[in-house]
Structure 1
Amino acid sequence: MSDGDEKITVENVNVPGHTTRVSKVMYDAMKQAMWRVLPSKAPGLTQNEIREAVVLHLPEGLFPGGAKAGWWAKTVQLDQEAKGNLVREASKPLRWYRVA
């Protein structure tokens, strides 16, 4: 299996026990971009703010023109929240920040 085909298992905070296999390269690129833009304390960023901010930090070869950034941002957010690395604020709209 080449690096480009490597998969990782992700969780979903909204569906405990459910896992999905996704591209490790895409996941890692999005996670790194999210960690660059998310604050480590409240107030966090909304889903739209996260999606807009990460595009500047994503490899163009993986996310041409920001393509699919929203889906990958949500995938990483749900997984990292399930793992306890992101905090969901009880706000409207919802906001997230990373655990320092």
Structure 2
Amino acid sequence: MAQSSKVKVENVNHPGNSTRLDQVKYNAMKDAYMKVLPVAAPGLTVAEIRECLTDVLSQEVFPGGAKAGWWAKAVQLDLEAKGVVKREKTSPIRLYKA
């Protein structure tokens, strides 16, 4: 059986640690995430982002939004760790493109 490609992801909450996740699912979520994320502060809340993701997320990769919440969080934390996404210090947090 062929092994799926993996991508190395980081977590802003655990600097220096990384893990490897399915590349197809990661890229599909990252593409959707970057489409909905605003380019400036104050940004969107995590709940608002997840709501917007349902309109642009690949149904082929995430049929019916299955496991999309987990993948959205994994991609969010990775993009924050890599400096692609910034977090406003508000409650609830708001995110936007760096």
TM-score (normalised: structure 1)? 0.92
What is the identity, as a one-letter code, of the residue corresponding to 1:70? G
What is the identity, as a one-letter code, of the residue corresponding to 1:52? E
Deviation at 1:59? 1.3
Moved more, 90-99 or 54-63: 54-63
Q: CA RMSD in A?
A: 1.4
Moved more, 50-59 or 21-30: 50-59
Deviation at 1:15? 0.3
| Residues 29-83 of structure 1: per-residue CA shift (max 9 Å, x gap) | 1111011100000111111111111111111121111111111111111000000
What is the identity, as a one-letter code, of the residue corresponding to 2:31? Q
Moved more, 73-82 or 44-53: 44-53
Could you list the structure 1 runs, at least 4 aligned residues long, displaced by more than 6 angstroms after superposition.
none
Q: Percent identity?
A: 56
What is the identity, as a one-letter code, of the residue corresponding to 2:14? V
1:38 counterpart = 2:37: yes
Q: Which runs of 5+ in 2 are unaligned?
A: none
Q: Which runs of 5+ in 1 are unaligned?
A: none
Q: Equivalences for 1:55-94 in 2 at 5 Å?
A: 55-94=54-93
Moved more, 74-83 or 52-61: 52-61
What is the identity, as a one-letter code, of the residue corresponding to 1:86? V
CA distance in 2, matches of 1:13, 1:70: 18
TM-score (normalised: structure 2)? 0.94
